[in-house]
Amino acid sequence: MIPPDNIKVKVVVRITSKSYSQSAKAVLILAHGAGAPADSPFMEQLAGELEKQGIACVRFEFPYMQKRREDGKKRPPDRAPVLLEAFKQQIQQVRAEVGSQCRLVIGGKSMGGRMASLVASEGDAQVDAVVCFGYPFHPPGKLDRWRIDHLPDVSCPLLVLQGTRDPFGKPEELDALGSIKGIARLRWLDGGNHDFATLVRHPLNQSDLIREAAKITRQFLEDYAGG
């Protein structure tokens, strides 16, 4: 999908981790989901746990979320061409800042991860890997609307971290499809929902699963993206 030439995106909110610098060995551009901003509690903890694993993070907000921050009014996400253009601008900016030797990874929460996979499916993203935290395989309860057609075209290794209670894609639903071409590694987080939150009786809580997701991400990058 190629956005129109007249789309212009002004990035207002951009958050970098403490370890982000020109000497960083791996940087993850981490996009938010449809309903929560770049500094939501989930995004804050996820970025913090990734940093503990040696992965510097850059977070940004899509245009509709920037407007919400300015006036407090909730809006639906921008159309895909606008979202993709915003992501591409971040890739260009971060790549210019960290240089060609840094491993550049893109990903995000739910919609943000899906947009990352779409960018990587276009063939010219020049990124080393994609990581999706809670991929929206389909709208809840709508198994006739799978969002996977582009995945075989993703040009780099793709990791999906999914809660076993996620209504956007549960184990039995994905098992029924068989292997999904384009996903290099799919890891299930036991008991987690779309936000990795667990039930009260579960031995692990949301923070535990976010921490586990960060560790899996580090191992994935070591295995697939050269460390």
Characterise 182 by phi-psi region: left (phi > 0), alpha (psi -120 to 50), beta (else): left
Residue type, 62: F
Per the model's pLDDT, the better-predicted residue between 126 and 52 turns out to be: 52
**pLDDT confidence of 51, banded at 50, 70, 90?**
very high
In this prediction, what percent of the chain has a pLDDT beyond 70? 91
Residues 197, 143, 135, 192, Cα dihedral to 10°:
20
Q: How far is CA 165 from CA 182, 192, 194, in A?
A: 23, 6, 7
CATH T-level fold of 14-224: Rossmann fold (3.40.50)
Least Cα distance to 14 among 80, 62, 85, 73 occurs for 62
pLDDT of residue 3: 42
Domain ranges of the chain: 14-224
Q: What is the pLDDT of residues 31-47, one digit of tens each?
A: 999 999 999 999 999 99
Structure tokens at 93: 């900016």
Other beta carbons within 10 Å of 161: 27
Judged by average pLDDT, the poorest of 1-10, 88-97, 117-126, 194-203 is: 1-10
d(CA 7, CA 27): 26
Cα–Cα dist 213/64, whole Å: 27
Dihedral in degrees, nearest 10, Cα atoms 111, 114, 118, 121: 170
